[in-house]
Amino acid sequence: MRDYKELIFELENKLQHPEVRKSVQELDGLISNDLIEFGSSGQVYTKKDVLVNLPSSTEIKFNMTDFDVIALGPDIVQSRFKTEKTNLQTGEITRSQRSSLWRNENGKWKMIFHQGTPTK
């Protein structure tokens, strides 16, 4: 199995860019129809929730560290990483451990699961 680390890093990073986060079309192309997200807030989100809420959310600056990818099968991988995010409106900084599952859907990798767990 080939190394997917660089590709999945690019996709995770893309989801953190303000222009992508504000675009329903861009988000739709990166997120599977059956997405489930356990947010760092404790909320559970579906793809519909993400497409409705994320484009109007406050702009955030992300810093990703300790990024790794593990192949779970031929068409599914798990990313694991830490983030430090800064709310550009308030300046508040939060940190979390994150994990995503990405599935190859007809040649295109899409996120099917995401979880963010707050850390100190």
Domains of the chain: 5-119 (3.10.450.50)
The confidence band for 2, taking pLDDT boundaries of 50, 70 and 90, is low
Please determine, for residue 33, whether its predicted confidence score (pLDDT) is greater than 50.
yes
Tell me the one-letter amino acid at 57: S
Spatial CB neighbours of 72, under 8 Å, sequence gap ≥ 6: 78, 101
Please determine, for residue 117, whether its predicted confidence score (pLDDT) is greater than 70.
yes
Please determine, for residue 116, whether its predicted confidence score (pLDDT) is greater than 70.
yes
Q: What whole-number distance in Å separates Cα of residue 30 and Cα of residue 111? A: 6
Yes or no: say if 8 and 78 are a contact pair by the CB < 8 Å rule.
no
pLDDT tens-digit series, residues 47-97? 999 999 888 888 888 899 999 999 999 899 999 999 999 998 899 999 999
Amino acid 1: pLDDT: 42
